């Protein structure tokens, strides 16, 4: 089964998807992480995606769908998968449905709902580990030592697309597409909404309850 975790940039999808994957043993597949790995490896795909990502725009569907299809064909994605950051527009919803129509694998979505004003503060204050990728926040989730990852000790950095100018563009470019995706899953009876504001552990508990309701338990 496939669980799609929907949310705006800064809604906490990555943190929550990681925790849910650890609790349920599902594979966590994040398109943003796949793109960043391609960019770090200097691949052709990474080079073509970088200009879109740096501008806060969506990478074209043909590039994104090809990349995620290859990832979902890996053995660890054969059973349960949490999708984080995909699908991000109506065409990607259709591509995902088409890819799994034949196998009959169920697809359910959970929308992590957060107000726009909160998203901007979350994104500009976010810091990520340059080595293991763990996420922190200067105010709400600071590391024990400023600028240093609690998990592995490497330096924390600001993602290029979390720069204030890019954050505004990202939200402007991506929120209407997200609305479309949410509506799409709602109208096909495959959507649950989880409040994404509050203590991380409380959000995690609400998400786990919603996931269990669609048969995605530990
Ligand atoms: P994220 O880490 O999910 O915020 O993704 C970082 C950036 O990668 C986004 O701002 C987009 O430029 C790009 N990206 C991630 N997922 C997708 C997707 N499904 N379709 C198009 N672009 C994407």
58-92 pLDDT, tens digit per residue, is 999 999 999 999 999 999 999 899 999 999 999 99
Environment class of residue 1 by beta-carbon count within 10 Å: exposed (0-12), middle (13-18) or buried (19+)?
middle
Supply the pLDDT for residue 102.
Answer: 79
Kindly report the pTM of this predicted structure.
0.88
Q: What are the tens digits of pLDDT across the range 165-191?
A: 899 888 988 899 999 999 999 999 999
- Write out the catalytic residue numbers: 13, 88, 126, 159, 170
Question: How far, in Å, is the centroid of ligand 1 from the Cα of 170?
Answer: 9
Question: How far, in Å, is the centroid of ligand 1 from the Cα of 58?
Answer: 6
Please state the atom number of ligand 1 nearest to the C-alpha of residue 87. Answer: 19
Q: How does residue 193 score in pLDDT terms, banded at 50, 70 and 90?
A: very high
End-to-end CA distance of the chain: 13
The preferred substitution site among 10, 18, 59, 92 for testing ligand 1, maximizing ligand atoms within 8 Å of CB, is 59
Determine the average pLDDT of the residues in 111-124: 92
**Nearest residue by C-alpha to atom 1 in ligand 1:** 32
Per-domain residue ranges of the chain: 2-26+79-115+174-213
**pLDDT(218) > 80:** no
Query: Whole-number mean pLDDT of the chain?
Result: 93
- DSSP, res 100: H
Ligand 1 contact, 65 CB (< 6 A): no
Cβ contacts of 209 within 8 Å, gap of 6 or more:
none
CA distance 80 to 33: 19
Q: How many helices (H) and strands (E) does the chain have?
A: 8, 8
CA distance 53 to 58: 7
CA distance 208 to 192: 12
Question: How far, in Å, is the centroid of ligand 1 from the Cα of 31?
Answer: 6
**φ/ψ of residue 90, rounded to 5:** -60, -40
Supply the pLDDT for residue 104.
Answer: 83
Omega within 30 of 0 (cis) for the link into 124: no
CB 129 within 8 A of CB 150: no
Question: How far, in Å, is the centroid of ligand 1 from the Cα of 87?
Answer: 10
CA distance 18 to 116: 23
Q: May I ask the CATH architecture of the domain 2-26+79-115+174-213?
A: 3-Layer(aba) Sandwich (3.40)
Ligand 1 contact, 85 CB (< 6 A): yes
Ligand 1 contact, 36 CB (< 6 A): no
Percent of the chain exceeding pLDDT 70 equals 100
**Nearest residue by C-alpha to atom 11 in ligand 1:** 58
**pLDDT(208) > 90:** yes
**φ/ψ of residue 15, rounded to 5:** -60, -45
In 3D space, the residue among 8, 184, 32 whose CA is nearest the CA of residue 108 turns out to be 184
Environment class of residue 216 by beta-carbon count within 10 Å: exposed (0-12), middle (13-18) or buried (19+)?
buried
């Amino acid at each position: 089964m496939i669980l799609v975790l929907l949310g705006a940039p800064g809604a906490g999808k990555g943190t929550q998807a990681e925790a849910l994957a650890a609790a349920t043993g599902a594979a966590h597949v994040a398109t943003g992480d796949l793109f960043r790995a391609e960019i770090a490896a200097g691949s052709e795909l990474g080079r073509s995606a970088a200009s879109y990502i740096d501008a806060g725009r969506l990478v074209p569907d043909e590039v994104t769908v090809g990349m995620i299809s290859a990832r979902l064909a890996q053995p660890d994605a054969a059973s349960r998968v949490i999708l984080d950051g995909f699908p991000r527009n109506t065409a990607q919803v259709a591509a995902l449905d088409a890819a799994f129509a034949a196998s009959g694998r169920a697809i359910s979505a959970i929308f992590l709902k957060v107000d726009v004003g909160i998203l901007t503060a979350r994104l500009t204050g976010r810091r990520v580990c340059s080595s293991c990728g763990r996420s922190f926040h200067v105010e709400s989730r600071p590391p024990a030592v400023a600028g240093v990852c609690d998990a592995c000790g490497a330096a924390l950095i600001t993602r290029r697309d979390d720069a204030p100018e890019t954050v505004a563009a990202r939200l402007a470019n991506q929120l209407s597409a997200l609305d479309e995706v949410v509506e799409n899953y709602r109208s096909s009876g495959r959507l649950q909404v989880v409040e994404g504001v509050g203590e991380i552990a409380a959000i995690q508990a609400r998400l786990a309850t919603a996931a269990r309701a669609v048969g995605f338990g530990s």
